[in-house]
Structure 1
Amino acid sequence: MSSSGASPSLRRGVILALGSAVLFGLTAPFSKILLGRIDPQLLAGLLYLGAGLGLAALQGVRLAIGLPVDEAPLNRANAPWLAGAVVAGGLLAPLLLMEGLRETSAANGSLLLNLESLATMAIAWLAFRENVDARLLVGAAAILAGAIALSWRGQGLELDRGALLVAAACLLWGVDNNLTRMVSAADPVRIATIKGLVAGSANIAGALALGAAAPDALAAGSAALLGFLGVGLSLVLFILALRGLGAARTSAYFSLAPFIGAVASILMLGEQPTVPLLVSGALMGLGLWLHLSERHEHRHEHEPVEHEHSHVHDEHHRHSHDEPVTEPHSHRHRHERLIHSHPHYPDLHHRHSHS
């Protein structure tokens, strides 16, 4: 069986990843305004806690008005992956980042934060065996070069203790992204809620323990609302993108967030366009085009598998139901062995190996 053109699920994954980058990118200029009134680590905690509380409230409203939930629930098999993601990306990485930024320059930290996408891609490729071809690598390199150009301050990179801590934080976020990929079939709102509540509470407790002053109610509420939109909803979109694109490609698209934040700063804060911004835009545009024009198609085999996730009845879901159903819906279902050819990314059904 063969099909031509990019499938709707692939296009949807790209849109979701870019949407996640936009929301997270817009968080930066708003956070810059709030940093004048809130301690940095405390702000990080309020952003994550706001994300968790906002998404929890959203789930409560959904249940109260009887909206159907077409997502698979979290189960015991998800627990180790989710726990690892929360510890790596929600607890340890922010702590290492804050400690690192205490001991290194802001320029150093900005440059090193670009390592997150590189770490995500390397782990996806080497540890989880996602397919990464030359076109994807060149595109990711162009996006990464654009991010570096954007954060370059004309100074060399200093590998002091603070820099190593920031690099370690990026490595842990790379681990977090790949572990989250392993649970991306489950309800993304619930996953993001758990991560937000745990990470937010931990960061707030840590900041207060270190003597951070409590912000006024307006600043705290603004941070929480910003966290719900820029962290919570962004993370939900990121998880949904992981389903269709895999960790390497989703992370590459998400790397556009700093550029989006820089453009938003120009529009919102009256900052002037700079040469690094223009160079960054050109490089990121090239990388984005290389990714959007990628076509990965070959004859491949689907082994029999039984799992649960939200789906529609497409060429990979041809099971029957006793009664009429609405789509998308979620239930445990079985895939029989299937061999065919069509364009695909390493989504939930295409995590096969390549010779």
Structure 2
Amino acid sequence: MHKGVICALLAAALFGASTPFAKLLVGAVPPFALAGMLYLGSGLGLLAWLGLRAVRKGNDQDRPAGLATSDLPWLAGAILAGGIAGPVLLMAGLALTPASSASLLLNMEGVLTSLLAWFVFKENFERRIFIGMLCIVVAGIVLSWEQVPALGVPVGALAVLGACLCWAIDNNLTRKVSASDAVQIACAKGLVAGSVNLGIAGVLGFGVPDAKEMLGAAAVGFCGYGLSLVMFVVALRHLGSARTGAYFSAAPFVGAAISLPMLAEMPTPGFWLAASLMGAGIWLHLTERHEHEHAHEPLFHAHAHVHDEHHRHEHEFEWDGAEPHTHPHHHAPIRHTHAHYPDIHHRHEH
């Protein structure tokens, strides 16, 4: 299986599992504080990872490409949307929505990510992908509509959908820097977003949660936000925003599967209808194949790579033959045909 697909599915599993565990903390911890602890746990865990990696022996070509100055505006926008606004809206939505339904509603993140990728960032899409997204959209409407009789206005569902929009913006902005170190990107998001949200919680007068709740939120955040985001950034590098979002749509099924027995929630007929529609949408994405003749323009960048058909450059340093390795390199113009995704080397027009 393609490396990008594996990373996207791992990201989905980790994030999906975090939703029912976060639900256990909702109510005991205010949304701003909980969002802050989740992201700070992510950032601190990844900071420890970076520290351990820094002391490991090795040469510079063994390490991922660090963030460049030109990456910072994109990363700042991603942190604001996905690291600060998104988690708060999700925690608020979880307070009003069953965790199983909230988990499936999170599939809308993939839909909104794709819509932004297609129509704002001009990423390629085809009829099969579009139909799959329509299935997921209808499923989200079914879940939202179920809450109307009980609440009048589905406030919880709207809050979860607002979180999905924030993460969709985050995903497309993060794609711009996805060639850089995924751990460094995820660590920066966690530390900044966690600190800001905890600061807001303090200004609003929320008390400090007890140590047990803080430790639990940090653990959930490290796995469900930190490690998941590292996998997601790597998937963005290999698949592009829309297709990574589509594979990531598996996340809600993991969350729903865990939340039903763990939280003793009873699935409704609408839940099963939505699950079927979302499953069909994901299957359409998983079975897509995109192949045509395309041209590569000259390109200069840095990322971990092996010397495949896209990397046939000379080295300006003594190379020991180890792969993958990282260094700034040039891509010469080339035209060829093969199956591909809109990764960092295939952002051409059609």
TM-score range, shorter chain: 0.7 to 0.9
Query: Which of 314-323 and 326-335 deviates more?
Result: 314-323
Deviation per CA, 1:70-111, whole angstroms, max 9, x where unpaired?
31111111111111211222234445667x759x9648x959
- Aligned residue for 2:240, secondary structure, equals helix
Partner of 1:44: 35
Deviation per CA, 1:42-93, whole angstroms, max 9, x where unpaired?
1111000000000000111112233664311111111111112112222344
Residues 143 and 256 in structure 1, CA contact (< 8 A), matched pair in contact too? no
Residues 193 and 232 in structure 1, CA contact (< 8 A), matched pair in contact too? yes
Residues 184 and 242 in structure 1, CA contact (< 8 A), matched pair in contact too? yes
Residues 243 and 348 in structure 1, CA contact (< 8 A), matched pair in contact too? yes
Amino acid at match of 1:128: F
Count of residue pairs brought into register by the alignment: 342
Amino acid at match of 1:71: P
Identical pairs, percent: 52
Q: 1:41 to 1:267 in 2, by over 3 A?
A: same
Partner of 1:138: 131
Q: Say whether residues 1:12 and 2:3 are aligned partners.
A: yes
Superposed counterparts of 1:19-168, under 5 Å: 19-66=10-57, 69-94=62-87, 106=97, 110=102, 115-150=108-143, 152-155=145-148
Amino acid at match of 1:119: L
How far has the Cα of 1:255 moved from its partner?
A: 2.3
Amino acid at match of 2:110: S
- Which whole-Å CA distance do the structure 2 matches of 1:165 and 1:150 have between them? 13
2:239 alignment partner, one of 242, 245, 248: 245
Q: Say whether residues 1:258 and 2:252 are aligned partners.
A: yes
Q: Say whether residues 1:228 and 2:222 are aligned partners.
A: yes
Amino acid at match of 2:215: G
- Which whole-Å CA distance do the structure 2 matches of 1:86 and 1:250 have between them? 19
- Which whole-Å CA distance do the structure 2 matches of 1:140 and 1:67 have between them? 44
Could you tell me which runs of 5 or more consecutive residues in structure 1 were left unpaired when the two chains were aligned: 1-7
- Which whole-Å CA distance do the structure 1 matches of 2:65 and 2:110 have between them? 28
- Aligned residue for 1:47, secondary structure, equals helix
Q: 1:180 to 1:234 in 2, by over 3 A?
A: same
- Which whole-Å CA distance do the structure 1 matches of 2:222 and 2:329 have between them? 33
- Which whole-Å CA distance do the structure 1 matches of 2:158 and 2:146 have between them? 19
Deviation per CA, 1:99-158, whole angstroms, max 9, x where unpaired?
x759x9648x95976543332212111121100111111112223434444565352797
TM-score of the aligned structures, taking structure 1 as reference length = 0.86
TM-score of the aligned structures, taking structure 2 as reference length = 0.88
Amino acid at match of 1:33: L
Q: 1:19 to 1:163 in 2, by over 3 A?
A: closer
- Aligned residue for 2:148, secondary structure, equals coil
Amino acid at match of 1:236: V
- Which whole-Å CA distance do the structure 2 matches of 1:283 and 1:13 have between them? 24
Query: Which of 345-354 and 203-212 deviates more?
Result: 203-212
Partner of 1:218: 212
- Which whole-Å CA distance do the structure 1 matches of 2:261 and 2:89 have between them? 32
Residues 147 and 259 in structure 1, CA contact (< 8 A), matched pair in contact too? no
- Which whole-Å CA distance do the structure 1 matches of 2:257 and 2:79 have between them? 31
Residues 105 and 252 in structure 2, CA contact (< 8 A), matched pair in contact too? no
Q: 1:65 to 1:20 in 2, by over 3 A?
A: same
- Which whole-Å CA distance do the structure 1 matches of 2:14 and 2:50 have between them? 20
- Aligned residue for 1:50, secondary structure, equals helix
2:198 alignment partner, one of 204, 210, 215: 204
Residues 147 and 258 in structure 1, CA contact (< 8 A), matched pair in contact too? no
- Which whole-Å CA distance do the structure 1 matches of 2:231 and 2:187 have between them? 13
Q: Say whether residues 1:313 and 2:310 are aligned partners.
A: no
Residues 144 and 157 in structure 2, CA contact (< 8 A), matched pair in contact too? no
Amino acid at match of 2:311: H
Residues 114 and 148 in structure 1, CA contact (< 8 A), matched pair in contact too? no
Could you tell me which runs of 5 or more consecutive residues in structure 2 were left unpaired when the two chains were aligned: none
Amino acid at match of 2:34: L
- Which whole-Å CA distance do the structure 2 matches of 1:147 and 1:162 have between them? 13
Partner of 1:352: 348
- Aligned residue for 1:244, secondary structure, equals helix
Q: Say whether residues 1:335 and 2:335 are aligned partners.
A: no
Amino acid at match of 1:226: V
Deviation per CA, 1:277-300, whole angstroms, max 9, x where unpaired?
433332232222211211111100
Amino acid at match of 2:339: P
